[in-house]
Amino acid sequence: MQQVAQLPQISPLTLAELQAGYLQQATALWNASLGQAEAPALGDRRFAAPEWRSSPATHFMTQLYLLNGRTLQQMAAAVEADDKTKARIRFAVQQFVDAVSPSNYLALNPEAQKLALDSQGETLTRGLQQLWGDLQRGHVSQTDESAFEVGKNVATTAGHVVYENDLFQLIEYAPLTAQVKARPLLMVPPCINKYYILDLQPDNSLIRYAVAEGNRVFVVSWRNPDESVKHLGWDDYVEQGAIQAVRVAQDISGQAQINTLGFCVGGTLLATGLAVLAARGEQAAASLTLLTTLLDFEDNGVLDIFVDEASVRLREATIGPDAPKGPQLLHGQELATTFSFLRPNDLVWNYVVGNYLKGEAPPPFDLLYWNGDSTNLPGPMYCWYLRHTYLQNELKAPGRLTVCGEKLDLTLIEAPVYIYGSREDHIVPWHAAYRSTQLMKGKKRFVLGASGHIAGVINPPPKPGKPPKRSHWIGKGAALPADADAWLAGATEHAGSWWPDWSAWLASHAGAAKAAPKAPGSRKFKAIEPAPGRYVKVKA
């Protein structure tokens, strides 16, 4: 007889306790609204304006919403089910609780109502205009997009495109020092975003910082895929992307080994490419830096809830290489929306309230401009990535996968590795980034930074006279235990940016100094156009 799967449930005892607690708190709120007890503080920045406390009815409604939200979250946490099912229930409940907040609706938002009355409806007019503009753009504006232009006030570090193919342009940056280190640095950013997260403004540009530290820097600028390349797969991104970028950097610099850096998915692609080369008998990297990168996909936080066999099969059937209509593009706005809803109050509802209900134009912010500059992906590449990493976690298993005709084994990479994770990263949890220390066989250094996936990485040293921002943790000695928390327990917190620590580590693998090149590229690879190049300017 076929066994029926048990549905998620809450034990009767736990449910009774939650009900009793809810009734007790709801009664206290009702008594407070009648003036029989002191009303508790709201304690939520969505309701910080005095208008939320000016009316007893509004105050009661808001307190009741917060109580309902807490209770629903407690019920989600009490569900008896497997870990992935519980995580999905918690995520769905959180999405619902955030969506039904009274702050999101004009009829329930006294702050927005007062602004409309005081401005004689002007805030509502501006809000409708901004809503119409966002409908035309296809996304909720998080910043004043008219304030930025790629190549004008973001992605401005001087350089030239010295190579291009159907997948990427390779940018070589102009030296800022009279001498440069012999071994160049190749940076491979994620292909699911534009590369200029590494080059937003001169003061927070990791690219400019690396150039100013005396490195000859090459950066991959991925093409924003269109219909002509929708058939490309993971092997193409490895062979014609990461490996080809290594080849060109080697050729231009005349160095058999180069320093390499991969960020997020760029790190996954780069490590895969270096392992392919190692299988072919070539150790192309003098060093490897991995920034918030996943190689072991055992437990990856909130993104795990989106991936199971059924969801991957659906993707394969609609955009994969064998889809009935042939391979298709995964459109960038879909990915951008998914990532925004990982933090809906900060990246969605905050702007719905500000833009539309209050009529406030979002201020210019370079990072959020980059965040909204989405990119497409070829369906076959995306489907391979989902199945073999997030779903089946095969990248870490030596010999399990064949990539570019080679049995893949990350342990064949002999280069020393600098591994960075961000402590509050919700896309690549730092424990997951730390697991790379147990995979790579070269000499390793792990550094943990404060903040999240982007803000933790883009954390430059302060200007003279300015206090340092955030902090980072460095372990004592070379010990890298299997348990990430054990490492953290023995680590020391340091104020400020982790960039100087990385730069010093990189310098030890960069070779002797020599005169900086007078012109970009080489006889074989001549300059094509000034940085940032054409590819990065193409919109999804």
- Active site (catalytic) residues: 264
Distance in Å from the first CA to the final CA of the chain: 52
Q: Would you call the peptide bond into 363 cis, given omega within 30 degrees of 0 as the criterion?
A: no
What one-character DSSP code corresponds to residue 471?
E
Question: What is the C-alpha to C-alpha distance for residues 373 and 384, in angstroms, rounded to an integer?
Answer: 24
Q: Using alpha carbons, select from 226, 308, 216, 250 the residue that is nearest to residue 512.
A: 216
Length, in residues, of the chain: 540
Could you list the beta-strand ranges (E) of 377-427. Answer: 377-378, 402-403, 406-407, 417-422
What one-character DSSP code corresponds to residue 416?
-
Question: What is the C-alpha to C-alpha distance for residues 507 and 32, in angstroms, rounded to an integer?
Answer: 64
Question: CA 326, 331, 332 angle in degrees (round to 5)?
Answer: 150
Helices and strands (H, E) in the chain, number of each type: 19, 17
Beta bridge partners of 402: 407
Q: Using alpha carbons, select from 46, 43, 44, 93 the residue that is nearest to residue 350.
A: 46
Q: Which helix (H) or strand (E) holds 318?
A: helix 309-319
Q: Which helix (H) or strand (E) holds 188?
A: strand 185-188
Sign of CA dihedral 463, 464, 470, 472: positive
Q: Using alpha carbons, select from 139, 112, 132, 134 the residue that is nearest to residue 124.
A: 112
Question: What is the C-alpha to C-alpha distance for residues 197 and 154, in angstroms, rounded to an integer?
Answer: 9
